[in-house]
Amino acid sequence: MFNMIFENKDGKQLQFGAGSPYTITEFSGLNPPKATINTNTTATLDGGTFNSSKLQIRSINVAFVIEEDAEKNRLAVYSVVQSKMPLRIYYQSEYLDIFIDGYVEDVDISYFAKKNIVTVAILCPFPYFKGAQEVINELSSVTPIFHFPFASTAAKELVFGVIDTLTSVEVVNSGSVETGLTFQLYARNELSNPKIINYETKEYIEIDIDMESGDLITITTGQGNKTVSLLRDGVTTNIFNLLSKNSTWLQLDTAGSVFVYEVGTGSVTNLDVTISHYDLFEGV
pLDDT digits (tens, 9 = 90+) for 219-268: 999 988 999 999 999 999 999 999 999 999 999 999 999 999 999 999 99
pLDDT band at 113 (very low <50, low <70, confident <90, very high): confident
Q: Higher model confidence: residue 110 or residue 182?
A: 182
pTM of structure: 0.86
Q: Where are the alpha helices (DSSP H) in the chain?
A: 70-80
> What CATH number is attached to the domain comprising 62?
2.40.30.200
For residues 121 and 149, membership in a common domain is answered with no
The share of the chain scoring above pLDDT 70, in percent, equals 90
Answer yes or no: do 106 and 158 share one domain: no
Tens of pLDDT along 90-100? Answer: 999 999 999 99
Non-local (6+) Cβ contacts of 123 within 8 A are 57, 58, 59, 60, 102, 103, 105
Can you give the pLDDT at residue 23?
93
Give the domain-ending residue among 105, 127, 149. 127
| 52-69 average pLDDT score | 94
- For 124-143, the pLDDT digits (tens) are 999 999 999 999 998 864 44
Do 140 and 78 sit in the same domain of this protein? no
Which domain, by its residues, includes 230?
135-281
d(CA 153, CA 238): 50
Whether 139 and 100 share a structural domain: no
If one counts the domains in the chain, the total is 2
Q: Which CATH number belongs to the domain containing residue 168 in this structure?
A: 2.60.120.860
pLDDT at 151 over 60: no
Residue that finishes a domain, picked among 127, 153, 184: 127
Is 114 in the same domain as 21?
Answer: yes
Q: In this structure, are 110 and 144 located in the same domain?
A: no
* Cα 79 from Cα 71, distance rounded (Å): 13
Burial of 196 (0-12, 13-18, 19+ CB in 10 A): buried
pLDDT of residue 147 exceeding 90 = no
Cα separation of 276 and 139, whole Å?
Answer: 11
| Range with the poorest average pLDDT among 1-10, 41-50, 145-154 | 145-154
pLDDT of 176 higher than 80: yes
First to last CA, the chain: 12
Does residue 64 carry a pLDDT above 80? yes
